[in-house]
Amino acid sequence: MAKKKKEAKKLNELEDEARAFLEKMNEAADADDASIAARKPATKKLAMLPQVLEMLAKKDMIRPLLDLELLSVCKRWVQPLPNGSLGNVTLRHRIIEAISGLTGETGVNASDLKRSGFGKVAMTLYMHKSETPAMKKMLKNSIEQWSRPIFQKSGNMKDLERVQASRRDRGLVGIALAQKQMESGSGSGARAAAGGKTEDDLQNIISGQSKAANDIGNNRVRVPYSKGFQFTVRPM
């Protein structure tokens, strides 16, 4: 007798299953947060990890999970602890590896990253002084992968570093340079000097406010600098 083919679940059934599962993930995160506050071992997320990986391997569940804020929940699972230190490395590794594997039409997109802030946490971990070399390599690859559709280029990490360097330099000469280029009619140059849409999108989606990423695990004194001058009438 032929085996009866399993019927595909309807969208509302997938959404209900995704919603219930994400609630369990949040409960595990809440329990671990309470344990950390009480200075007790936090093991709920790690114990649930195999179930999470199994769920993320189901192709029909990917988009319902993402639409119901999977990345926001995963952000809670991998972000640094309240004191700035890093949590369990196995948990970070397996979750970020799984998220990086959610590609294709139903996979992670720029809207998911921007809405959840997961890209910002990935950048924070990448820049953390205590992150392991292996994790930094994985995070770098993930950030480049998520940057690629924004840049519409190779997504090389050097592009991201160029954006950050451009924003630093802009504090000194960007305003004056943008004004000069606009006066000469170079619209594209002005947009590049003033921080074009592509660079702003990357900064917002991948790293968010870079100050937050730099501050975690880094207590260096910041030296203020001039933002340059902007003249409406050229000085004599």
| pLDDT tens per residue, range 57-85 | 999 999 999 999 999 999 999 999 999 99
Give mean pLDDT, residues 202-227: 47
Per-position DSSP letters for 5-74, written without gaps between them? PPPPPPHHHHHHHHHHHHHHHHHHHHHHHHHHHTT----HHHHHHHHHHHHHT-GGGHHHHHHTTHHHHH
Q: At 35, phi and psi to the nearest 5?
A: -65, -40
Q: In the prediction, which pLDDT does 159 show?
A: 55
**Helix pair angle (70-78, 89-100), 10° resolution:** 150
Q: In the prediction, which pLDDT does 163 show?
A: 55
Rounded to whole angstroms, the maximal C-alpha distance in the chain is 95
User: Which region among 21-25, 192-196, 205-209 has the lowest average model confidence (pLDDT)?
Assistant: 192-196
Q: Which helix (H) or strand (E) holds 102?
A: none
Per-position DSSP letters for 2-23, written without gaps between them? PPPPPPPPPHHHHHHHHHHHHH
**Residue with the larger pLDDT of the pair 234 and 38:** 38
**Helix pair angle (89-100, 118-127), 10° resolution:** 130
Average per-residue pLDDT in the chain? Answer: 75
Give mean pLDDT, residues 139-144: 90
Give mean pLDDT, residues 9-32: 93
Share of the chain above pLDDT 70, in %: 60
Q: In the prediction, which pLDDT does 171 show?
A: 55
